């Protein structure tokens, strides 16, 4: 079985919300919205197919926006994926989902639909828009009933970290299939994530206890420990051990950037990661993705350049979140601001 390669494809910037933290809108709510034409969609699609042929991978698409369902050719694109038997996940909004729409999504091959919850009602609606919290909870049921896996993602910052425990209770009560959180990545305007390393570690501890309690009670929600700092947490707890067989210089896990994932924006720009500001490596309407992958993308694979991680025994399994680290300084290889690990050699040199 070939390995999958993930394309996070933002087909449109169009959206019913203007979230305060969003990397699309946080700097300017009046930005010109980019929307791919149908001709451009096809060009990008076949560029991705060519990429997978060259590297002998299976394509997997994460279709997103904005809200991808607002794209005028959304269903045409889904039909194209279905025709090629390609599985996909949608990262979208709740507003345009109905039982009928969810059934149609499933029939086109949608495996998962991810919605966001960024706090309990007051905080979530403050970040997003009035009524968004209630609508999100209501639409989880539509997704579940259609037989699509429901996923809830929380973007955590200093503003909402104390609400994550309540969000976990809420998603469990609504029978969400998968729950995960990732950290807010500062945009070029905002440099502070509002959490000290210790505060973030405390949050992981609280979540870990909750996850264990729910798992012991037979809860069906899968808790995806997506943030790579979970590896540091589990290493300290003794539940993650560095394998004796580990080879020097091999990368076993951690951040996927430069490994099995790439992002395409609605204007065709290819980004190493959507959350890493200024990580444009090419344009899929002008460049062959397969070439970009071995040329410009090399800038994201120099593991010796990680300022702190290169001195850490967890380099091959963690590297924190370079998108959070680089949001502050602009340097992809900067230290993760929430990593609490004491590294003498690094502390001395900084
Ligand atoms: C761009 S949205 C598109 C899908 C959908 N509109 C939504 O909000 O879930 C995808 C994810 O990116 C997250 N996101 C947006 N700006 C971010 C930032 N500056 N740092 C981290 N995550 C961010 C959102 O919270 C959401 O979970
Ligand atoms: S709903 Fe998603 S795409 Fe729209 S502004 Fe919010 S985070 Fe950005
Ligand atoms: S220094 Fe880097 S690799 Fe080590 S625990 Fe921190 S983020 Fe992870």
For 86-139, how does the pLDDT look when each residue is reduced to its tens digit (9 = 90+)? 999 999 999 999 999 999 999 999 999 999 999 999 999 999 999 999 999 999
User: Which ligand has its closest atom nearest to the C-alpha of 322?
Assistant: 3
Query: pTM, whole model, 2 decimals?
Result: 0.96
Residue nearest to atom 1 of ligand 2 (CA): 17
Residue to probe by mutation, ligand 3, list 234, 311, 312, 343, most atoms within 8 Å of CB = 312
Ligand 3, atom 7: closest residue by C-alpha: 320
Q: Which residue reads 């449109």 in tokens?
A: 12
Beta bridge partners of 156: 183
Band (350; pLDDT cuts 50, 70, 90): low
What value, to the nearest 5°, has the Cα angle with vertex 168 and ends 165 and 174? 145
Is the beta carbon of 315 within 6 A of some atom in ligand 3?
yes
Ligand 2 shell residues, CB under 6 Å = 15, 17-19, 22, 24-25, 65-66, 93, 128
Instruction: Return the pLDDT at 223.
Output: 98
Residue 31 has pLDDT above 80, yes or no: yes
Two tokens, residue 82:
């279905």
In sequence order, which residues have a C-beta less than 8 Å from that of residue 134 and are 6 or more positions away?
121
Confidence at residue 221, expressed as pLDDT on a 0 to 100 scale: 98
Q: Which atom of ligand 2 sits closest to the CA of residue 23?
A: 8
| CA of residue 296 to ligand 2 center, whole Å | 28
Distance 314 CA to ligand 3 centre (A): 6
Ligand 2 center–CA 198 separation, angstroms:
29
Q: Percent of the chain scored above 70 by pLDDT?
A: 97
Q: What is the structure's pLDDT at 349? A: 55
Q: Which ligand is nearest to the CA of 136?
A: 1
Is the beta carbon of 320 within 6 A of some atom in ligand 3?
A: yes
What tens digit of pLDDT does each residue of 125-141 get?
Answer: 999 999 999 999 999 99
What is the predicted pLDDT for the residue at 307? 95
Q: What's the rounded Cα separation, in Å, for the pair 201 and 339?
A: 8
Q: Give the pLDDT of residue 222.
A: 98
The Å distance, Cα 153 to ligand 2 centre, comes to: 12
Pull the structure tokens for residue 79. 């039909």
Say yes or no to pLDDT of 74 above 70.
yes
Decide whether any atom of ligand 3 lies within 6 Å of the 341 Cβ.
yes
Ligand whose nearest atom lies closest to the CA of 319: 3
Residue 211 has pLDDT above 60, yes or no: yes
Contact 324 CB / ligand 3 (< 6 Å): no
Q: Whose CA is nearest to atom 1 of ligand 3?
A: 309
Handedness of CA 299, 301, 303, 306 (dihedral sign): positive
Tell me: pLDDT of 234 over 60.
yes
Q: Is the pLDDT of residue 39 over 70?
A: yes
pLDDT, mean of residues 56-81: 98
| Cβ density class 236-275: b for 16+ within 10 Å, e for less | eeeebeeeeeeeeeeeeebbebbeebbbbbbebbbbbbbb
Judged against a pLDDT cut of 70, whether residue 189 lies above it is answered with no
Distances (CA, A) of 28 to 24, 118, 188, 194, 251: 8, 21, 11, 21, 38
Nearest CA to ligand 1 atom 25: 155
Pocket test for ligand 3, best of 233, 237, 306, 309 (most atoms within 8 A of CB): 309
Contacts by residues 278-285 (CB-CB < 8 Å, ≥ 24 positions apart): 278/188, 278/330, 279/332, 284/43, 284/44, 284/47, 284/48, 285/40, 285/43, 285/44
- For atom 7 of ligand 2, the residue with the nearest CA is 22
- The predicted-structure confidence for 219-232, as pLDDT tens digits, reads as follows 999 999 999 999 99
Best residue for ligand 2 mutational test, from 66, 124, 135, 274 (most atoms within 8 Å of Cβ): 66
Q: Ligand 2: distance of its center to the CA of 26 in Å?
A: 10
Mean pLDDT of 45-69: 98
* Owner of token pair 């190493």: 272
Q: Which ligand is nearest to the CA of 232?
A: 3
Summarize pLDDT for 259-303 with one digit per residue, the tens.
899 999 999 999 999 999 889 999 999 999 999 999 999 999 999
pLDDT at 278 (0 to 100): 86
What pLDDT, on the 0 to 100 scale, is given for residue 28?
72
**CA nearest 264: which of 256, 273, 255?**
273
Better-scored residue on pLDDT, 349 or 276? 276
Distance, in Å, from the CA atom of 174 to the CA atom of 49, rounded to the nearest integer, reads 37
Query: Which pLDDT belongs to residue 306?
Result: 96
Whether pLDDT at 192 is above 80? no
- Distance (angstroms) between ligand 3 centre and the Cα of 127 equals 30
> Whole-angstrom Cα distance, residue 313 to residue 343?
10
């Amino acid at each position: 079985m070939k390995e999958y390669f993930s394309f996070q494809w933002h087909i449109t910037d169009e959206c019913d919300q203007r979230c305060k933290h969003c990397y699309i809108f946080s700097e300017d709510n009046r930005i010109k919205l980019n929307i791919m034409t149908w001709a451009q969609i096809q060009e990008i699609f076949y560029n991705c197919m060519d990429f997978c042929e060259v590297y002998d991978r299976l394509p997997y698409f994460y279709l997103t926006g904005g809200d991808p369902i607002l794209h005028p050719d959304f269903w045409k694109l889904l039909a194209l994926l279905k025709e090629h038997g390609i599985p996909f996940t949608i990262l979208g909004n709740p507003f345009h989902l109905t039982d009928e729409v969810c059934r149609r999504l499933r029939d086109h091959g949608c495996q998962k639909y991810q919605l966001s919850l960024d706090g309990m009602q007051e905080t979530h609606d403050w970040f997003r828009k009035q009524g968004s919290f209630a609508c999100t909870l209501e639409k989880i049921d539509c997704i579940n009933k259609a037989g699509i896996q429901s996923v809830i993602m929380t973007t955590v910052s200093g503003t909402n970290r104390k609400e994550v425990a309540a969000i976990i209770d809420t998603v469990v009560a609504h029978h969400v299939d998968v729950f995960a959180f990732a950290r807010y990545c500062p945009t070029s305007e905002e440099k502070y994530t509002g959490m000290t390393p210790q505060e973030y570690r405390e949050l992981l501890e609280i979540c870990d206890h909750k996850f264990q309690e729910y798992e012991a009670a037979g809860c069906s929600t899968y808790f995806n420990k997506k943030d790579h700092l979970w590896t540091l947490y589990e290493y300290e707890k003794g539940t993650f051990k560095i394998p004796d067989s580990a080879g020097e210089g091999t990368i076993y896990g951690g951040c996927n950037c430069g490994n099995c994932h790439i992002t395409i924006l609605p204007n065709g720009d290819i980004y190493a990661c959507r959350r890493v500001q200024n990580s444009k490596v090419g344009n899929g309407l002008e460049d062959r993705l397969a070439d970009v992958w071995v040329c410009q993308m090399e800038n994201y694979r120099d593991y010796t350049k990680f300022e702190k991680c290169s001195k850490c025994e967890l380099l091959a399994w963690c590297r924190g979140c370079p998108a959070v680290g680089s949001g502050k300084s602009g340097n992809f290889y900067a230290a993760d601001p929430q990593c609490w690990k004491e590294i003498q050699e690094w502390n001395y040199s900084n």
